[in-house]
Homo-oligomer: A and B are copies of this chain.
Amino acid sequence: MSPVSIKDIAKAADVSHSTVSRALSNSPLVKAETKARIQRLAREMGYSPDARARSLVMGRTRTVGVVVTTIADPFIAQVVQGIESTAHDHGYTVLLCSSSAEPEREIAAVEMLRSKRVDGVIVTSSRVGALYLAHLERIGVPVVLINNHSEHGGRYTYSVGVDNQHGGHLATTHLIRLGHRRIAYVSRPSDYRSNQERMAGYRQALAEAGIPFESALVVPGTGRAGGGERALPVLMVDEPPTAVFCYNDMTAIGLLRAAREAGLSVPQDLAVVGFDDILLASYVCPPLTTIAQPKARMGQQAMQMALALMATEDPAAEEFSNIVLKGKLVVRESSKTRDGMRS
């Protein structure tokens, strides 16, 4: 037996279905008495309004599509939580899509969201290629990018991200204040804009302290633990650095592990700073100093931005907006001297 509809209630209450519709939306046009009767009846009959039918006539689904590479990434999961809670607070629902970072699936995901007529789309931590972006814009609803890794054009798209240069500067300055002068950077493939920006912050901090930049102190990583592990031996030759700033926490954690196996003690022999502040960071040993990205807040902001865009008639008319949040330095053992900070 299919769920009860307003027609069923209409029959039971001996009124027309439009009266039921009005009564249930609490319209003042309905006599208080009949309204009460209808509402009670609806409750008794276990009525649940059909959101599809409603959205069909109302023109809005009150649903946002969220595209992630994988929800299994704890960083992304925290961002999504921010999105979901804000969405919920505003009566919106989240349709989740994983792209597995495969362009083909990304496009399928977008097509799917288009079919479900979501009111907006939020894409997290993606490298939106030109092709993908084109598809995204075709969808005809506001699109908000979180921590987008590629240069992007497209005036249909808005974004929220962390201030990478500021974070890189914060991390490096912290190490300089601790007295370090030879500070290395373990990078990520440089077509990632975030990598370039973090490194720019690193160089800026060095320059401000009058420390010359040495390209030998920049070694390539991958963004994953393995990259950090392989970076260590490359680093520890000739004149090794006394401190290292890593593109992200996973890189730093890999490096930490390699250091332990190499018999180096952190932070005495080598201070280490990461970026992200993933859950792991506070549990590895030694606990990792890092630049905390406001993950949940990024999700909230993105959702709020989407809400604002969905509210305006013509999103394209809105001026281009690009929210940039500041990360925060979180000092832990991996960058303290045994007797506390030197600074």
Q: Does A277 contact B (CB under 8 A)?
A: no
Shortest CB-to-CB span from A107 to chain B, Å, is 13
Which size bracket describes the interface of A in this complex? 35 or more
Q: Does A52 contact B (CB under 8 A)?
A: yes
Select the stretch in A28-36, A90-98, A316-324 that faces chain B: A90-98
> In the complex, which residues of chain B have a beta carbon less than 8 angstroms from the beta carbon of A77?
71-74, 77
Residue of B nearest to A61 (CB): B52
A88-B98, A93-B95 are contacts. A52–B283 as well, Cβ < 8 Å? no
A111 to B111, CA, bound (A): 27
A111 to B43, CA, bound (A): 13
Contact between A95 and B94 (Cβ–Cβ < 8 Å)?
Answer: yes
> In the complex, which residues of chain B have a beta carbon less than 8 angstroms from the beta carbon of A116?
51-52, 93
Partner of A81, one of B78, B98, B260: B98
Binding site for B on A (CB under 8 A): 2-3, 46, 48-53, 55-56, 59, 61, 66, 70-74, 77-78, 80-81, 84-85, 88, 93-98, 100, 105, 111-112, 114-117, 138, 140, 253, 260, 279-280, 283-285, 296
> 15 A-B contacts, Cβ less than 8 Å apart?
A46-B138, A49-B115, A50-B117, A51-B115, A52-B56, A71-B71, A71-B81, A72-B296, A81-B98, A84-B96, A84-B97, A93-B112, A93-B116, A95-B96, A283-B284
